[in-house]
Amino acid sequence: MKIKTFTLTAAAVLAAAIGSASLAHEDARKTELFKPGVGYAGERAEPTADLAARVPLYEGLGSRSYEITTRSPRAQAYFDQGLKLAWGFNHAEARRAFREAQRLDPSCAMCFWGEAFVLGSNINDAMHDEAIAPAFEAITQAMALKDEATPKEQALIEALAKRYAADSSADRAALDRAWADAIRTVAQRYPRDADIQVLYADALMNLQPWDYWEADGTTPKGYAADIVATLERALAVAPGHPAAAHLYIHAVEASATPERAEPHANALRGAMPGAGHLTHMPAHIYSRVGRYQDSLAVNRDAIAADERMLEAMGDAASPLYRFGYYPHNVHFLLMAAQMTGAKDDVLASAEKLDAITSDEVSAELGWAQAIKTAPYSAHAQFAEPEAILALNDPGDQFPFVKGYWHYARGVAFARLGRVDEALAEAAALDELYTNADLDGLEAQYVPARTLLEIAKHIVEARVEQARQDYPAAEHHLQEAIALEDTIAYMEPPYWYYPVRQTLGAVQLQDGRAQEAIATFRQALKKQPKNGWALWGLLQAQQQVGDASARQTEREFRRVWLGDNTLLSLDRL
């Protein structure tokens, strides 16, 4: 595997945006794309009129329309497209649609409202400093035109005006709270307008992005109870509403009961096949409930949709979408394939990630480095040792990524019985997490040191497993599990499989099948219906004559897509 570099002409823009972003999310722990509170160059603030004019009307965005006051049917169509793309987190392309709607009907107040809306914060991207002036200009124009709008539109425009100020030094967090307060009033006035309910929930989510549940997964934090209730109200009024389903999935996926979103994930599946991110979104729930084959399917569709969209957008595509949301879908597909043993999909996805990630972007963005590690963990689990050892050294530019290269090599050497060489790779990992400069990643909420320390302990455990010193292997695995349990929720998980799966295998090898059964069940609680852990559980149950082995075998056969030759205790 050769790590490729993708040429990024927008790198300078990207770096500037990172440096100047308004940290509206500074209290958040994380985001879907691994970097909370930091604005990307995803939504450039200066699309020219001719760029806006070239935006097509895309197919596959569904038939839903939000009727606004306009003299132009095509302006209505572009407004609808902008709103749909915004709900699919393609904010840069949404802005181009709203700009085209403005060109078609310069008197359309809501067309300017739409542009102002997408220039603001969202749960994955703080507002950019360079967006402040155009957002204020757009909402000012909407306010100037609102007398011709309906009372509902006037209420939306006046509420959004609370979010922006002419003064670029104005407190962004206070402005976002003012918007949330204002849209709450509008939502109370129009309880049967699902889109307004979604706007209110979205405003609240932006006040605490990706931080909705206490550690028990049942106690809501901050506004989370109101967020969930508001989205459930929207879904009751408009079943299958794509935006409500999207945000509801995000609101509950980290909770102890993600299955409550399963019907809405099912409804979202295929609802907007032209919107890659929305096509992918059911996978957030499917993976949490163990529907990995469904996750594979929706991510394949999402990748295809994104590739069509990126081709259509060309140079207008935002770096955030090209190097964030699109690789995220490939990463998700890889994870689902790993859980089902689909080796060909795993290795193909690993190669694809190499091709679509960028060293230039990875130098700036933590999430990009997190994605770049995935091919090495994929090879560690699925490739033959000789193939792993043939992987190119990724170099020293990204110590975190290089750590995963050492990890894969350590696993390979242990499997070959070359324990001294495996321990040398563990020592290299120790050197990296102890001395490498990982502060930038840690500041971006990527737990890089913890992950590299987990990797070191697992390599050491694999060495002891090869030596058949199972108590020593268990010691290292317990250390890794203690670290793994400190990592906050993320999808795909920061560490790619439950370490208890390996502990169960070691306990089984040590003749402690009953303990192994309990350990495998714990692993399955963390990742339900994980094929590897199901197989391990089956081996332990069969060893003690447990009658539930038949049910476990049925579950395993439903999940497993791989070759059974992959299945051995030293791979769990």
What is the spatial distance between Cα 467 and Cα 475, in angstroms, rounded to a whole number? 14
Q: Please tell me the predicted confidence (pLDDT) of residue 208.
A: 96
Considering just the CA atoms, what is the radius of gyration of the chain in Å? 25
Q: Which residue has the higher pLDDT, 20 or 56?
A: 56
Length of the chain: 572
Judge whether 512 lies within some domain.
yes
Mean pLDDT of all residues in 21-49: 41
CA 232 vs. chain centroid, Å, equals 22
Give the CATH number, domain containing residue 508: 1.25.40.10
325: pLDDT strictly greater than 50:
yes
What is the spatial distance between Cα 65 and Cα 70, in angstroms, rounded to a whole number? 13
Domain stop point among 308, 337, 366: 337
Q: Please tell me the predicted confidence (pLDDT) of residue 362.
A: 84
| Residue 392 backbone dihedrals phi, psi, to 5 degrees | -65, 145
Quick one: angle between helices 242-252 and 224-237, nearest 10?
150
Q: Please tell me the predicted confidence (pLDDT) of residue 364.
A: 80
Pick from 10-14, 505-509, 552-556: least confident: 10-14
Structure tokens at 333: 């597909």
What is the spatial distance between Cα 409 and Cα 403, in angstroms, rounded to a whole number? 10
pLDDT tens sequence across 200-236: 999 999 999 999 999 999 999 999 999 999 999 999 9
What is the spatial distance between Cα 446 and Cα 502, in angstroms, rounded to a whole number? 24
DSSP annotation of 488: P
48: pLDDT strictly greater than 70:
no
Q: Report CA-CA distances (Å) from 282 to 26, 33, 49, 567.
A: 28, 17, 35, 29
Q: Please tell me the predicted confidence (pLDDT) of residue 531.
A: 98
Judge whether 247 lies within some domain.
yes
Cis omega (within 30 of 0) on the bond before 258?
Answer: no
Pick from 112-121, 180-189, 437-446, 474-483: least confident: 437-446
Q: Please tell me the predicted confidence (pLDDT) of residue 343.
A: 96
Q: Please tell me the predicted confidence (pLDDT) of residue 18.
A: 31
403, 394 contact by CB (below 8 A): no
Q: Please tell me the predicted confidence (pLDDT) of residue 10.
A: 35
DSSP annotation of 323: I
DSSP annotation of 128: P
**Please, where are the H alpha helices in 444-530?**
448-467, 470-484, 500-509, 513-526
pLDDT tens sequence across 481-534: 999 999 999 989 999 999 999 999 999 999 999 999 999 999 999 999 999 999
Q: Please tell me the predicted confidence (pLDDT) of residue 310.
A: 94
Which residues are 220's β-sheet partners?
Answer: 213
DSSP E strand boundaries for 487-532: none
Q: Please tell me the predicted confidence (pLDDT) of residue 306.
A: 97
pLDDT tens sequence across 357-377: 888 878 887 878 999 999 999
Mean pLDDT of all residues in 476-483: 99
Domain stop point among 313, 337, 361: 337
Judge whether 27 lies within some domain.
yes
23: pLDDT strictly greater than 80:
no
8: pLDDT strictly greater than 80:
no
Judge whether 5 lies within some domain.
no
pLDDT tens sequence across 393-408: 999 999 999 999 999 9
| Residue 122 backbone dihedrals phi, psi, to 5 degrees | -140, 175
pLDDT tens sequence across 137-146: 999 999 999 9
**Chain mean pLDDT for the chain:** 91
The residues, ordered by sequence, that sit 6+ positions from 207 with a Cβ below 8 Å of its Cβ are 173, 176, 177, 180, 222, 223
DSSP annotation of 281: T
Q: Please tell me the predicted confidence (pLDDT) of residue 565.
A: 93
Judge whether 111 lies within some domain.
yes
Percent of the chain with pLDDT over 90: 84
13: pLDDT strictly greater than 60:
no
What is the spatial distance between Cα 141 and Cα 126, in angstroms, rounded to a whole number? 23
Label residue 352 by pLDDT band (50, 70, 90).
very high
- Single-letter residue type at 145: L
Residue identified by tokens 């399917």 is 297
Pick from 48-57, 222-231, 537-546, 551-560: least confident: 48-57
Which range marks the domain in which residue 513 is found? 498-572
Domain stop point among 337, 353, 371: 337
Judge whether 282 lies within some domain.
yes
What is the spatial distance between Cα 177 and Cα 166, in angstroms, rounded to a whole number? 17
Degrees to nearest 5, angle at CA 469 with 467 and 470: 125
Structural domains counted in the chain = 2
Local structure of 122: helix, strand or coil: strand
Quick one: angle between helices 132-145 and 109-118, nearest 10?
160
Q: Which pTM was predicted?
A: 0.91
Q: Which residue has the higher pLDDT, 394 or 37?
A: 394
182, 175 contact by CB (below 8 A): no
Judge whether 477 lies within some domain.
no
What is the spatial distance between Cα 363 and Cα 361, in angstroms, rounded to a whole number? 5
Pick from 283-287, 368-372, 450-454, 481-485: least confident: 368-372
- Single-letter residue type at 544: V
DSSP H or E run through 492: none
Local structure of 88: helix, strand or coil: coil
Q: Please tell me the predicted confidence (pLDDT) of residue 508.
A: 98
Q: Please tell me the predicted confidence (pLDDT) of residue 391.
A: 96
Which residues are 125's β-sheet partners?
Answer: 122
Judge whether 409 lies within some domain.
no
Pick from 4-18, 386-400, 451-465, 477-491: least confident: 4-18
